[in-house]
């Protein structure tokens, strides 16, 4: 799994420039050169509230499965990307997947545990926490004024 955050470290690495420690992305040069087949096991992504709170979410994917947790409502989705690349069949509602859901949920707890929003409380995901837009000055009610 790769993401937009991998562009900067890839360009820096290809140019022979040190990648800052604060960079959350990974250089894809090892994949491009055939040195490695991947740069991470699991990718975390998020979408902050910018249209409506219901859409704020965090997701994890290993390239085969994708787990999504909606931070405002606590709703979950689980997709098998191998057989359902368009994410049309949510497996989270099937109790046969409870073990798999628990595993993904635990991994997301690890990822979010130290976040200031308080997405994790007593080792469990805590829904209803504010998940504001990341861009400073962004106001969803005045989007065009921001631009």
pLDDT tens for each residue of 29-79? 999 999 999 999 999 998 887 666 678 899 999 999 999 999 999 999 999
Instruction: Please answer whether residues 111 and 58 qualify as being in contact, where contact means their C-beta atoms are separated by less than 8 angstroms.
Output: yes
Four-CA torsion 49, 50, 51, 57, nearest 10 degrees: -30
CA 115 – CA 135 distance, rounded (Å)? 17
**Which residues, 6+ apart, have CB-to-CB distance to 135 below 8 Å?**
146
Q: What does pLDDT average to over the chain?
A: 88
Task: Record the pTM.
Answer: 0.80
Q: What is the pLDDT confidence band of residue 22, given thresholds at 50, 70 and 90?
A: confident
State what percent of residues in the chain have pLDDT above 70: 86
Instruction: Please answer whether residues 92 and 78 qualify as being in contact, where contact means their C-beta atoms are separated by less than 8 angstroms.
Output: yes
């Amino acid at each position: 799994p790769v993401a937009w955050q991998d562009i900067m470290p890839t360009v820096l690495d290809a140019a022979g420039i040190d990648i800052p420690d604060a960079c959350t992305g990974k250089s894809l040069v090892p994949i491009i050169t055939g040195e490695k087949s991947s740069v991470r096991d699991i990718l975390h992504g998020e979408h902050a509230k910018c249209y409506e709170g219901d859409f704020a979410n965090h997701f994890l994917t290993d390239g085969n499965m994708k787990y999504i947790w909606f931070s405002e409502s606590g709703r979950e989705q689980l997709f098998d990307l191998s057989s359902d690349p368009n994410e049309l069949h949510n497996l989270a509602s099937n109790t046969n997947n409870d073990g798999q859901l628990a595993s993904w949920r635990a991994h997301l707890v690890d990822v979010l545990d130290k976040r200031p929003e308080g997405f994790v409380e007593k080792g469990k995901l805590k829904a209803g926490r504010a998940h504001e837009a990341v861009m400073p000055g962004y106001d969803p009610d005045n989007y065009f004024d921001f631009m």
